[in-house]
A and B are shown apart, each in its own frame.
Chain A
């Protein structure tokens, strides 16, 4: 990156020479899903990751969270090496990962409860995020009674209710209709601007990435294809010329056929 860093800003996530290989089922040979990845995410930065399906985005999040171990390189969170799974970064899972035996509300309360917050406090926090993601009226539903989009919002609320310093989000708005998606983007930016939260956000939507992010990273063919700062003031106008230029740029990067990864 062109390295315009505020001196006071801390590095929230630092990924250094990260590689991850998986054994292929067919020939038993291992293949890199991620190779020599270098990414720095500053505190209170909003980074979006774009990339075709299967390029290793979820794998990258699992590595940052410490659920899986890197084959090469390392990851630091606030300067401390990730060695095991921990709650240092909140996570919104692509597959929601709600506890099926807990109601919507209890799922959202899970974080505060694990940290032994008082009952009242837990209730308050849960209510706040239920309102925020617009789940009023279904607090007492069980996950199996939810639509995909609802479950996704519960997952977001649950992660936010834990008030993490860093939040990793794996296509968190993918299953939402345009209206809800729009609202959720706004809420997310709202929280982002009000707190010092760092967001590492995976999406398939180029438009969403350019709308939300301070920086967009394109992942392709196991490597970082490009890492671009979005120089637009918020709130962003999706119809402005610069916005459209960014869109076109990323679309061309994604559309590129292999080999161009520099």
Chain B
């Protein structure tokens, strides 16, 4: 009960803060237009962006770019996520496999994945596969350590407990190690999401003809600041939406963990 109240309070606060932000923005552009501090084209007013959004929503441009970006991010994130879970599981179980492959991953890990895009484009062309490939790669590389760590850091006493109840190795894996790793997997997903969006932007800015990243680059060419801000806001919204979904699922799946447990209740 108390918790719900606090959530509500937080929600009101964040909404107020957003409203305040946009109002200030609007006011700033208004005064800029009047007193000409800098070229008004540099910073369009929120209302201009909304107008633009309505126009583009009407002629289908907005949906065209947004939908393709959503599609890329969803497919890339899924592929990378599933692969990292599979590989993480293999690593956690097969020390030898891990010993073989982790040096390679450790070598590739520190290289910003975006640096690889040109190579990927040359190898796989500028089609969808190279874009989704980069997104999946980013997701995979960022998420993998969270998964292996989560699986390996199972408290020994829990493994012992399952053993004492007669669990087989496979059952220990599925009934103890995986559930134990799930909180980590969610943390991993949330951290990874930012990387995934980065990959989306980069891949759409290089050799694409659709998508929100393309919209930004294209707008820059024609100095269409409204378009640029609109695309940026759309990206932000998709991000918030996806993050929200992950958090929502997390809240349900990790019911045993998510609510309560403040170190000190206030």
Contacts and interface: CB of A to CB of B under 8 A. Distances in A.
B160 A90 contact: no
Interface stretch (B24-32, B163-171, B203-211): B163-171
A144 B155 CA distance: 16
Interface stretch (A47-55, A109-117, A187-195, A223-231): A109-117
Interface string B64-99: 000000000000000000000000000000000000
A101 B184 CA distance: 14
Interface residues of A, number: 28
A1 B192 CA distance: 63
Nearest to B168: A114
B55 to A, nearest CB: 50
Interface of B is mostly: helix
Interface core residue of B161, B162, B182, B261 (most chain A CB under 10 Å): B161
A101 B257 contact: yes
B154 to A, nearest CB: 11
Contacts of B161: 91, 93, 97-99, 158
Given A99-B179, A144-B256, A111 B166 contact: yes
B155 to A, nearest CB: 8
A159 interface: yes
Contacts of B155: 97
B175 interface: yes
Interface of A is mostly: loop
Nearest to A92: B164
A87 B179 contact: no
B256 A100 contact: yes
B176 A87 contact: no
Contacts of A142: 255-256
A158 B155 CA distance: 18
A103 B179 CA distance: 13
A87 B167 contact: yes
B1 to A, nearest CB: 16
Contacts of A99: 158, 161-162, 175-176, 179
B165 A162 contact: yes
A62 B167 CA distance: 17
A228 B105 CA distance: 60
Nearest to A95: B157
A85 interface: yes
Contacts of B164: 65, 87, 89-91, 159
A95 B167 CA distance: 19
Contact of A111 (B165, B255, B260): B165
8 contacts: A65-B164, A85-B160, A87-B167, A90-B165, A99-B161, A110-B162, A114-B171, A114-B175
Interface of B: 155-158, 160-168, 171, 175-176, 179-180, 182, 254-257, 260-261
